[in-house]
Structure 1
Amino acid sequence: MKLSNLTKTRKGRVALAAVPVAAAASLLLGGVAQGAVPVSFAIAGGEFKIAADRLEGVGFSQYAGQATAADGTHHPAAIANIKDAKLYNLCQTVVQETALGKVGLKITAGDGEEPAKATDLQIGMTDLSGTATFRDIRIGVDASKVNTTSKGDQGDFAMDSDSIDIDGLQQVSWSTQAAVFQLTDLKLQLTDGEECF
């Protein structure tokens, strides 16, 4: 996947190199490092999946970067920021190989009337699909001038928008972090490798 090709459309579906979504507090697997953006924590070295029926976000930006594992390995990632996000019917899964075979951890939240909510959300991801609507979008913004608190390097390509809505969200990520993450109706279970998608 080319990170420079930040958006593409096919039959009304939008695939972004990075658009936000959520992770449960117990599964915040790492920090996103990119250029001048400080590393807050090292990723575990494995990707995880997130899905939601709908994401509603205010204050969005996206630019290229990398996620760094504890052993120093760098992984290309797209960095996405969202000031305030609501996630309806959130699902997150991570699967690892063990001596007993595949073992997974599945978290669900926001599957009732109240969605899961996040503030100052930042994601380092490699893939996302869904049907997206941007309001007041700017494409080709300098990454150091995006409209979110977190910014990229001067001279790097970026995009931002006042808001973003995504239906049928499916995302593969290296890391997710947030200032506040409210998981309404949280459920956590061990699985034999079942994933959100």
Structure 2
Amino acid sequence: MKLSALTRTRRGRAMLAAVPTVAVIGVLMGGVAQGAVPVSMAISGQQFKIGADLLEGTGFSQYAGEAKDADGKSHPVAIANIKDATLHNLCQSVKVPGMPLGLLISAGTDPKNPVKATDLQIGMSDLRGTAQFNQIRIGVDASTVNTKAHGSKGDFAMDSDAITIDDLKQVSSSTSAAVFKLTDLHLKISDGTECF
């Protein structure tokens, strides 16, 4: 085989291997680069993991909801809103389905410079950690919660003036924010390693 043909073949294989990687980076970093992701976005349907040593927030609410994918299919989620949030030692991971490949993002590793977000909204299916709520109200109507975003009238909800979660572990379908400041951002292609 001629050297030029061999070079073209190797380049072709390398490009094929890079396609899933570029796609994952584009999906995750598109919203970060713009600074805001619309709440009405169509979700991919693929879940990702978020971990943090500590989340502190003011203006919290949570209620049941749904997120729709590009085909219009509904996915049930628990929707959490935080007016102002700080996250210490944030980790976010997503795996490429069926491949030993993923994307791993870390930020806010310096205790003096945590990740900060305003009007943070998360659509999740699982949440773990040790939580403390200040001035909590459980059983309020979702249309009357104390955050800008709210649920449907007649739906069950809870809200609080402040929230703290130690050792946060969360499985999510979507995250959006008016501003999402990722200090010491580090994004890397991984072997599929996840935050937890």
TM bin, normalised by shorter chain, reads 0.7 to 0.9
Q: Deviations over 1:111-167 (max 9, x none)?
A: 012100000000100000000000000000000000001110000000000000000
Structure 2 residue matching 1:67: 3-state secondary structure: strand
Query: More strand by proportion, 1 or 2?
Result: 1
Percent identity over the alignment is: 64
What is residue 21 of structure 1 aligned with on the other side? none
What is residue 33 of structure 1 aligned with on the other side? none
Deviates more, 1:64-73 or 1:142-151: 64-73
What is residue 107 of structure 2 aligned with on the other side? 109
Alignment of 1:1-197 (within 5 A): 26=29, 28=31, 40-97=40-97, 101-112=99-110, 113-197=112-196
CA distance in 1, matches of 2:28, 2:94: 13
Structure 1 residue matching 2:101: 3-state secondary structure: strand
User: TM-score, normalization: structure 2?
Assistant: 0.80
Structure 2 unaligned blocks of 5 or more: 1-26, 33-37
Query: More helix by proportion, 1 or 2?
Result: 2
The alpha-carbon deviation at position 102 of structure 1 amounts to 2.4
Measured on the aligned residues, the alpha-carbon RMSD in Å equals 1.8
User: TM-score, normalization: structure 1?
Assistant: 0.80
Structure 1 residue matching 2:97: 3-state secondary structure: strand
Which residue identity is paired with 1:72? G
Which residue identity is paired with 1:146? V
Q: Deviations over 1:157-180 (max 9, x none)?
A: 000000000000000000000000
Which residue identity is paired with 1:184? T
Contact 2:39 2:176 in 1 (8 A): no
Question: Number of aligned pairs?
Answer: 164
Structure 1 unaligned blocks of 5 or more: 1-23, 30-37
Contact 1:28 1:176 in 2 (8 A): no
